[in-house]
Structure 1
Amino acid sequence: MSEAPFKHVYLVDGSGFIFRAFHALPPMSNPDGVPVNAVFGFITMLMKLLTESDADRLAVIFDAGRATFRNEIYPDYKAHRPDPPEELIPQFSLIRDAVRAFNVSCVEMPGFEADDLIATYARQAAEMGAKVTIVSSDKDLMQLVGGRVGMFDPMKNRQIGPAEVFEKFSVSPDKVVDVQALAGDPTDNVPGVPGIGVKTAAQLINEYGDLDTLLARAGEIKQPKRRETLQSNAEAARISRQLVRLRNDVPVPEPLENFTVREPDRDVLLGFIDQQGFRSIRARLTNGQPAPAAGKPLSAPDSRISGAVVMPEATPGPVPAPVATDYELVVEIAALDRWIAAGRKAGIVAVDTETNSLDPLRCDLVGVSLALAPGRACYIPVLHNGGAAQGSLDLGGPEPGADGPKPLPKADIVKRLKLLLEDPAVLKVGHNIKFDLQVLGSCGLAVAPIDDTMLLSYVLESGAHGHGMDELSALYLGHKTITYGEVCGTGKAQITFDRVPLDKALAYAAEDADITLRLHGVLKPRLVAEHLVTVYETLERPLVPVLAAMERAGIKVDKAELQSMSVEFGRRMSDFERDICLLAGVEFNIGSPKQLGEILFEKLNLPGGKKSAKTGAWGTGADVLEQLAPLHPLPRKVLDWRQLAKLKSTYADALVDQINPATGRVHTSYAMAITSTGRLSSSDPNLQNIPIRTEEGRRIRRAFIAEPGFKLLSADYSQIELRLVAHVAGIQGLIEAFKNGADIHAITASQVFGVPVEGMDQSIRRKAKAINFGIIYGISAFGLAQQLGISNGEAKQYIDAYFARYPEIRHYMDRTKEQVKKQGWVETLFGRKCFVPGINDRNPAMRAFAERAAINAPIQGGAADIIKRAMIRLPDALAAEGLTARMLLQVHDELVFEVPEAEIEATRAVVKRVMEAAASLDVPLLVEVGVAASWAEAH
């Protein structure tokens, strides 16, 4: 092997970069009106790669065209792939221009795919002794991994080696081609062997060694169907192998030596950037120097991509330069006092807690970290004396409890932290600070005032990306944080944080506070520029302590009732299992989708079955069973069995285990930054998904009870989403009906179907109700037909009649779709931006789904904003009246309170008044209030 004149070659899958960038970013165009969102995203990813890689040779490899030598082998190869979206086509040449503007080698070759060129260059470089990194997430390139060749997935920031290939294919990289030849690939129209997916293919290749041996010995396979399929499709498998195997002997147009990493020509690069109107990229390239006056800016907000994440950017600017860190372990009183004094003087401090559990009400405080300036942070250990766990991985460093430094007494730490964390003149910044408020609250610390970087990110970019600190650090700061697994281990070897050596605990915990403070400096100023101050300051930040109090309060459950329920559900499940097996004529595992599919579509021969192209198994989802239910009694019984099984495991059994022994109550946790519309989500336990329309679901709610001497009060917004539709779309007929307190579904039926309200047939009202609610979610004629049991034609007539009577809602829908396609997001009444990924997806089904989401988001998001406004106002309103009711739960449009029996009527009046005044609309808000000993009876 000759010695290469270079050490590390990076080969970038250009097509992968292009499509990731295009589908990740909202539409934008340059001053000439040419679409450039893919160009912008591609450049940003290329800049990140050039900055972070250690490559001394780098090239971007593109596909020259669709026709390649593989079409001569199999004319239908990739025949079904759709053409690129129209708005992407003009960007292909601009992206190649961009690569050249960065002075990066750009290679393509007619007749061959980019993957073949990558395979050839990878082989050449490895044979010369160089390390090779293929920058792509394409599974087809995984066959090249091994030896000196590896892959890097830039979207997941993940190295791919032989272990990762095995994880995906269950075979070593040298056998990936054989697995793909058997499994085929419907995307590329590679035929493969029907009925054999990747899992089965891997099992066969591992058993027989390779494809040729398998095909030669196919007659030995015991399963008749599999044996016959392999024998009759042997030639298809061999052809498929030719299609998926990459050529590594392509007469490439440029030698590796030409791929030297070079500095770009500044004038050429900036000239190209300015032509496209990429202000933020110029700022990053020139340390913030403005571009010369010329042309118009982008027609959509400039954006930045880092890794897999995309986000709009209102104030262009470079990624901050790396920050030198100075982290201190605080184990002496004098040092702690010094940090407390410095924090009070600074007026702002980032704070983060470390614990030995994720349950804030049951965990111990292990340590607290503080940050006062970028790079300047400390860690104050509280509980680091457990020693290393037996059998755990060696994390290095001195063990806590050994001869190293010892934590200060907890009482001394809490006493001094109180001076800082309860100081009203000091802003405390956290990331998901609700958790820290709970933990510190258990120590007697009432932390205020607060800011939350997770919520800042959520308000600015909602559904555009995740809002975890690690992700935001990579996104905004270009910094990869230390992961929890790196300090605590993973799997069975994982230890709790109190057993982490102090030097490693310092690096991890202080970094958390440091990154939080730095993110605050990046995100908080954007609120003003992007007109989102009101959303953050009136809807999100003040809700944090309200939710923390609700989580701490919890709700009482009747343990005996739950246990009785579990026994009954189990008995009824056994009855269903017996009936189902009798109907099937054979005993089988009802919980196995594979076995159920075989019963339905092979034994009972029910129509309409579809097999998964990936697994070869019959589909047996709820939608499939619902369609089969009118044809045979077995599918309906399976649906009933599944519902009982879910209620038993998720609630009747799980809730008993989730009762806090110290309080006798269950304490759900509310996630504030999950949904794209602002709705809260509940977990551990999830109390928002308990069915309310079934008797079993209502029985689960009966197990939620009030303490002796109290009642549960349920306050529920009536038809709030319909009211918002009427207001937002300006539907005068519905607005008048709501103002008059009329039966909205009867009015709709009267106006759409031309029947009088008096003496109306309830079936007509039911149809109107289905349309009223269905329209909000973009229901199709097919969906309405399924729901009402009518023909598609009749359903379409109903929907057409609805739009004819209420043309305002059609105008609203069209207006919303047009808006979201231009800017990538829609807005609620209160200014919340709801981002809608996939609105420009080339897949029509995905695009239609995104359009429906865009239409619904301002409605669902508006309802979420209204109930948040009410939740924020209610604690003070109740306290002002001297009432002691506690707000316990928020479930969609409903709030649940625990109220002393003597205060019920006064509390009812205050809750109803505050909730109905939470928003001023063209229609009145109506809140229905119920009071009882259990949740089910109160609702």
Structure 2
Amino acid sequence: MHNVSLSPESVFYLIDASGFLFRSFFALPSLTTSQDRPIGALLGLCNMVLKLWEEQNFTHWALVLDSKEPTFRHDLMPSYKSHRKRPPEALLEQFSFLPELCESFSIPYIVQSGFEADDLMVSYGKWGANFAQKVCLVSCDKDLMQAVTSKIVMYDPVKNIWIHEEEVKKRWGVSPKQIPDIQALSGDSCDHIPGIPGIGLKTATLWVQEAHSLEAVLQGKIKTLSSHKRKLIQEFQDQARLCYRMACLRDDAPILHSDFSYFRRRIPNSDSLERFIDHMELRQLKRRLTGLGWLKIKDPITVFVKLWQPPDLCSQSLTYISWPKDNTGKILGALLATHSENLLTFVPFSDFKTKEWQTFWQSASNLKIFWDTLFILRKLNQEIPPLLEDLKILEYLIRGCHSSDTALKTIAQSGLEVFAIDIKWDTRILEEQQSMCEIQEAFFGIQAYKMFKERIKNLEIHTLYTTLDLPLIQCLRKMELHGISINISVLSELSQKLFNKMDELEKKIYKIFNKPVNLASPKKLAEVLFQDLGWPVSKKGKSGQYSTDSSVLEEYALQGYSVAQDILDWRHCAKLKQSYTDTLPNQLNPDTGKIHSSFSMSTTSTGRLASFHPNLQHIPVSSEFPIRSAFLSSPGYVFLSLDYSQIELRLLAHMGNIPSLIEAFQKEQDIHRATAQTLFDTHEVTSEHRKYAKTVNFGILYGMSAFGLARQLNISSQEAQNYIQRYFDLYPGVKDYMKQIEEQVKKEGSVYTLWGRKCTVLDIHNASSIARQGAIRQAINAPLQGTCADFMKKAMLACENLLGNKGHLLLQLHDELLLEVKEEYAESISQQIKSLMEKIEQLKVPLKVHSSCGKTWK
């Protein structure tokens, strides 16, 4: 060992890099490079390390890494950590970059074969205490508390908590050195250390407090001990001693870097750091690193913004257009970027009606690139240009049905290097028309577009983009402009009917409550239910208040609390009234007298379309309150509705290659009836049987648990589990398909539709088991729902070509198309569209489409 004297100013930080990388992976959203390399956990670790550099006063430091090889604990106990699943590939790949990250940041790192990071932190911490005034173990791992001494402390940066000896005693009830004694008795489920069966943490703590050590406990030094526990100690004493060795962190690992100056805090070499940042596309860190002085400050690029001159625009083959706005969101003009890297062109809003602008806009020789074309067309009330590309849709496809809020955010995350811009404005451009954000978007937009086009060039999503999503912009814009008529009188009658129903329910509810209550207030409702009426508490919300959400009230209704169903019915009526009958009349366009919904292709996680302002996709089919009947076809036209029959079940049969399902659909069997025959072991299937079977068919498709199915069918969990088991016995391939999808999404983080659309499942590695289970259910359904969405988009484009001036597309509702067609063509168009929808793709099972027409939408 080198003779390095103790420095009163030296502070040595040992950072649990493996632990923080693991934590970042499960806590933060997934992030990948332009080459689909995962980097989200590395970015999280970098941010944490930089935060330590900026906020903590230390002189020496090191990142400590786990070794890939088995450790001495695996030799002692082969079952050690055996219950843990192999980490996801995306996490393992990021672990492999830790040494390169440390070298690029000039941070010393410690990794030694046969030792875990915890052992190395304790060993190097004990050694470092000879040279440093203080040693700090930076970690969230409770096991490290046993290493805390007067000179060695712990720091949890996630909770921002310092842990000294007194804090350890407060938490554990014993000194740091006695923690392994407790763990040897109670075990540690996280690491699969068994301890003594039947001995919990509380009992173990009391014993160690009394006897002071494991060995004393095993030697019978506990005064009051039941014969049963005495027998357990006697029987499992050898196992307890082994668990003690497992729980003790080693402090004798070889010190491979014995020169303490090796760990001195240093500023990294800016060139090697920048190469690593660029290679890993961690460019979000650049501004922070430049601020620390770790990267060289580059000279800003000078960009000239000139006022437009019409002849210049039409001569360009490629133009990215951003739209400066004022504080209210009103568009002030257009900023145009072309191949001329350092030159942007500004067009004032007042010039949009000029002949020159319209000539440019309608030019088929100039490719125009937008971020969210439909949004821009709505704002400008312009016709769609003949040649365009949409950066938002490109990003949505590449990121697996997820999109950023803004173009600038997309560009920053795209892998492009975004650097400072020095802007030189044309003196004729008014100050209020100058917008920095849109300058950056326009300047980098063309580069991002080219990068995205290159990324999808050889992928299946290139075909989806060029043949489905991009052409659909024009189709959706026509739907938005055409709109749909409503009968205000019908809505007014329904609103009154809903009001009467709510009034009736209120009187019924108030009678049970013995007083009027604001039923729209969850807090007031909870006070009555759980305090006044004394209902047993089911669960609490995030704020700590008693929960009265739908799932809670449904559970109480099943238990016989009739007022719970009354409250649910009241809420349903209130939602219909507030969302539709009272709101839709106010959303009529005064110029057209119609409702004009807006549509989005980049909102859902499966490629489905979304409708908003107003949302017409979620209007329920109801016999009691038929809101759809208020929608009217235009004079001389009728509504034509075409919807796929059981399409997701048919897709399940095809994509899962499930022989029994394929055979049932090929024979055109009633699939719900066939399922009911097996579930109830009868050929005499009643309507109730079929209803149950339908719930099971679609419930399993959406990953419904036995508990969820039991609640929906009002049966016991055991009955529901029996139904699910019989279903899997009838269609064994379904379980295999679900298992296959689960394995795929855990490995890749994404699933795919039949035509190759990527659906990224964000929570598949979430730290919360509830979130992970939800992600698995989402993954199982996403390929089916997404494939249906792809089919519907292709059908919509085919309808556009077929209709001509005979009708219009109005809405797309998941597996249904709603059209308005001239009465004389209704029957022939219905047959043609039905045929093209059924032939949209050649599957192992036939696709079936139901059609209906009428003057109102029902």
Decide: shared fold, TM above 0.5. yes
Q: Show the counterpart of 1:619.
A: 547
Q: Show the counterpart of 2:333.
A: 367
Q: Show the counterpart of 2:268.
A: 262
Alignment of 1:133-532 (within 5 A): 138=158, 140=160, 258-263=264-269, 284-285=278-279, 324-330=301-307, 335-341=309-315, 343=316, 347-353=317-323, 366-373=332-339, 375-376=341-342, 378-383=344-349, 409-412=351-354, 415-439=355-379, 442-443=381-382, 445-463=383-401, 466=404, 468-477=406-415, 502=431, 504-532=433-461
Deviation at 1:867, TM superposition (A): 0.4
Distance 1:826 1:865, change over 3 A: same
Alignment of 1:916-931 (within 5 A): 916-931=838-853
Distance 1:265 1:873, change over 3 A: closer
Q: Show the counterpart of 2:214.
A: none
Which secondary structure state, in structure 2, belongs to the residue aligned with residue 755 of structure 1? coil
The reply to whether residue 835 of structure 1 matches residue 760 of structure 2 is yes
Which of 661, 665, 669 in structure 2 is aligned with 1:734? Answer: 661
Which secondary structure state, in structure 1, belongs to the residue aligned with residue 414 of structure 2? helix
- The aligned amino acid for 2:268 is R
Whether the 8 Å contact between 1:41 and 1:305 is mirrored in structure 2 is no
Distance 1:355 1:544, change over 3 A: farther
Distance 1:40 1:453, change over 3 A: closer
Deviation at 1:467, TM superposition (A): 5.7
The reply to whether residue 19 of structure 1 matches residue 23 of structure 2 is yes
- The aligned amino acid for 2:553 is L
Q: Show the counterpart of 1:221.
A: none
Distance 1:434 1:447, change over 3 A: same
- The aligned amino acid for 2:307 is V
Q: Show the counterpart of 1:599.
A: 528
Following the alignment from structure 2 to structure 1, what is the Cα–Cα distance between the partners of residues 396 and 717? 40
Q: Show the counterpart of 1:402.
A: none
Q: Show the counterpart of 1:819.
A: 744
Following the alignment from structure 2 to structure 1, what is the Cα–Cα distance between the partners of residues 48 and 538? 47
- The aligned amino acid for 1:100 is C
Deviation at 1:727, TM superposition (A): 1.1
Deviation at 1:379, TM superposition (A): 4.6
Stretches of structure 1 that go unaligned for 5 or more consecutive residues are 1-9, 29-35, 66-82, 118-134, 143-252, 271-280, 286-302, 309-320, 384-406, 483-499
Whether the 8 Å contact between 2:368 and 2:389 is mirrored in structure 1 is yes
The reply to whether residue 747 of structure 1 matches residue 674 of structure 2 is yes
The reply to whether residue 713 of structure 1 matches residue 640 of structure 2 is yes
Alignment of 1:511-910 (within 5 A): 511-612=440-541, 614-630=542-558, 631-693=560-622, 695-696=624-625, 699-751=626-678, 753-756=680-683, 759-879=684-804, 883-910=805-832
Whether the 8 Å contact between 2:799 and 2:833 is mirrored in structure 1 is yes
Following the alignment from structure 2 to structure 1, what is the Cα–Cα distance between the partners of residues 497 and 481? 31
- The aligned amino acid for 2:555 is Q
- The aligned amino acid for 1:816 is I
Distance 1:90 1:870, change over 3 A: closer
Distance 1:468 1:919, change over 3 A: farther
Whether the 8 Å contact between 1:101 and 1:265 is mirrored in structure 2 is no
Whether the 8 Å contact between 1:324 and 1:375 is mirrored in structure 2 is no
TM-score, with length taken from structure 2: 0.70
Which secondary structure state, in structure 2, belongs to the residue aligned with residue 711 of structure 1? strand
Once the two structures are superposed, residues 600-646 of structure 1 have per-residue CA deviations (whole angstroms, 9 ceiling, x without a partner) of 1222222343234x422111000111111242222111111111111
Distance 1:818 1:116, change over 3 A: closer
Which secondary structure state, in structure 1, belongs to the residue aligned with residue 616 of structure 2? coil
Whether the 8 Å contact between 1:327 and 1:506 is mirrored in structure 2 is no
Following the alignment from structure 2 to structure 1, what is the Cα–Cα distance between the partners of residues 532 and 300? 67
Whether the 8 Å contact between 1:340 and 1:420 is mirrored in structure 2 is yes
Whether the 8 Å contact between 2:16 and 2:64 is mirrored in structure 1 is no
Deviation at 1:588, TM superposition (A): 2.2
- The aligned amino acid for 2:278 is R
Following the alignment from structure 1 to structure 2, what is the Cα–Cα distance between the partners of residues 137 and 666? 53
Once the two structures are superposed, residues 671-705 of structure 1 have per-residue CA deviations (whole angstroms, 9 ceiling, x without a partner) of 11111210111111111112224632xx2211111
Following the alignment from structure 2 to structure 1, what is the Cα–Cα distance between the partners of residues 696 and 60? 52
Q: Show the counterpart of 1:102.
A: 104
Whether the 8 Å contact between 2:485 and 2:632 is mirrored in structure 1 is yes
Whether the 8 Å contact between 1:611 and 1:619 is mirrored in structure 2 is yes
Once the two structures are superposed, residues 421-445 of structure 1 have per-residue CA deviations (whole angstroms, 9 ceiling, x without a partner) of 32323222111112234455x34x4
Which secondary structure state, in structure 2, belongs to the residue aligned with residue 713 of structure 1? strand
Following the alignment from structure 2 to structure 1, what is the Cα–Cα distance between the partners of residues 56 and 416? 21
Once the two structures are superposed, residues 11-36 of structure 1 have per-residue CA deviations (whole angstroms, 9 ceiling, x without a partner) of 999666652245557799xxxxxxx9
- The aligned amino acid for 2:24 is R
Following the alignment from structure 2 to structure 1, what is the Cα–Cα distance between the partners of residues 55 and 511? 66
- The aligned amino acid for 2:826 is I
Q: Show the counterpart of 1:152.
A: none
Deviation at 1:716, TM superposition (A): 1.2
- The aligned amino acid for 2:665 is F
Deviation at 1:566, TM superposition (A): 2.7
Which secondary structure state, in structure 1, belongs to the residue aligned with residue 775 of structure 2? helix
Deviation at 1:505, TM superposition (A): 2.9
Stretches of structure 2 that go unaligned for 5 or more consecutive residues are 1-12, 66-82, 110-120, 126-134, 142-154, 163-258, 286-297, 421-428
Once the two structures are superposed, residues 121-156 of structure 1 have per-residue CA deviations (whole angstroms, 9 ceiling, x without a partner) of xxxxxxxxxxxxxx99956479xxxxxxxxxxxxxx
- The aligned amino acid for 2:479 is M
Distance 1:54 1:662, change over 3 A: farther
> Across the two proteins, how many residue pairs are aligned to each other?
675
Distance 1:601 1:105, change over 3 A: same
Deviation at 1:349, TM superposition (A): 1.4
Following the alignment from structure 1 to structure 2, what is the Cα–Cα distance between the partners of residues 27 and 801? 41
Following the alignment from structure 1 to structure 2, what is the Cα–Cα distance between the partners of residues 84 and 645? 48
Deviation at 1:765, TM superposition (A): 1.9
Following the alignment from structure 1 to structure 2, what is the Cα–Cα distance between the partners of residues 426 and 737? 53
Distance 1:40 1:480, change over 3 A: closer
Which secondary structure state, in structure 2, belongs to the residue aligned with residue 100 of structure 1? helix
- The aligned amino acid for 2:333 is G
Deviation at 1:47, TM superposition (A): 9.1
- The aligned amino acid for 1:453 is L
Deviation at 1:712, TM superposition (A): 1.5
Percent pairwise identity: 30
Deviation at 1:63, TM superposition (A): 10
Deviation at 1:597, TM superposition (A): 1.3
Which secondary structure state, in structure 1, belongs to the residue aligned with residue 846 of structure 2? coil
Decide which structure has the larger Cα Rg and report it: 2
Distance 1:800 1:139, change over 3 A: same
Whether the 8 Å contact between 2:639 and 2:854 is mirrored in structure 1 is yes
Deviation at 1:348, TM superposition (A): 1.6
Deviation at 1:773, TM superposition (A): 0.8
Deviation at 1:805, TM superposition (A): 1.9
Whether the 8 Å contact between 2:400 and 2:760 is mirrored in structure 1 is yes
Distance 1:307 1:721, change over 3 A: farther
